[in-house]
A and B are shown apart, each in its own frame.
Chain A
């Protein structure tokens, strides 16, 4: 089956710093999604990417769909305390059961004041 490697596993940063995390896949995806999950809550969609090379922003968040279609990156600029949480990438292909989402293992972000 498809596998997603997400890194780093955890990050401790100072408030105001920029953050970068990424996902790589063993196979090609047609859609990349990035989610944030707060404690005791379900994942919430942050950004969706549909084309290789696409760069999309949502406020202080910027995500890119890698040109090989096997990777994606998420950047958070000028971090604030409410950015704390777990960030997940997820990929979707278009054929058969691969239309389901495959999630990465998450990046736990801690923002220190």
Chain B
């Protein structure tokens, strides 16, 4: 079974530029999460989707971050404009059961460096 696919693996941008990350979850997984992992910290949830609906985006900095999952499968996370403090690994995870984190699997992440 294929895992969670994320691209790109690495991205370097200048501050104030925009960037987008893509996630393809495990086939059939209705729940999709985006996490931000700053160096030296654990992952922090940014947004959770159930199919194409947002379940929780309370920790998403909505002035600069946006995410969508239009067809309930792939998802994109966008940052515009980026700040230096956005440098982090952005992890996507998917699960077949909502709120059952033991059924969630993480992708390899996209490492963003903002200079």
Partners in one complex: yes
Taking Cβ atoms with an 8 Å cutoff, the residues of A that contact B are 4, 6, 31, 33, 40-45, 48, 88, 90, 92, 97, 99-101, 103-106
Inside 8 A of B41's CB, which chain A residues have their CB?
A: 103, 105-106
Question: B89-101 vs A: 1/0 string, CB under 8 Å?
Answer: 0010100000101
B102 x A42 contact (CB < 8 A): no
Residue contact A42 to B101, C-beta cutoff 8 Å: no
Please judge, given known A-B contacts A42-B107, A42-B108, A43-B106, whether A97 and B56 are in contact too, CB under 8 Å.
yes
Contact between A101 and B45 (Cβ–Cβ < 8 Å)? Answer: yes
Q: Which residues of B contact A (CB under 8 A)?
A: 4, 40-45, 48, 56, 58, 91, 93, 99, 101-102, 104-109
Q: Is the CB of B40 within 8 A of A105?
A: yes
**New A-B contacts (7) at CB < 8 Å, excluding given A42-B107, A44-B106, A106-B40:** A41-B108, A42-B4, A42-B93, A42-B106, A97-B56, A103-B41, A105-B40
- Name the residue in B42, B101, B105 with the highest tally of chain A Cβ atoms < 10 Å from its Cβ: B42
* Interface pairs (14), CB distance under 8 Å: A42-B93, A42-B106, A42-B107, A43-B43, A45-B104, A48-B102, A90-B101, A97-B58, A99-B99, A100-B45, A100-B56, A101-B45, A103-B42, A103-B43
**Which residue from chain A places its CB closest to the CB of B43 in the assembled complex?**
A103
Q: Is the CB of A90 within 8 A of B106?
A: no
- A4 neighbours in B (Cβ, 8 Å): 42
Point out the residue from A40, A48, A99, A100 that lies within 8 Å of B108, measured CB to CB: A40
* Closest A residue by C-beta to B3: A42
Smallest CB gap from A33: residue in B: B101
B101 / chain A contacts, CB cutoff of 8 Å: 31, 33, 90, 92, 101
Contact yes or no, B93 A90, CB < 8 A: no
Residue picked from A40, A92, A101, A103, most chain B C-beta under 10 Å:
A101
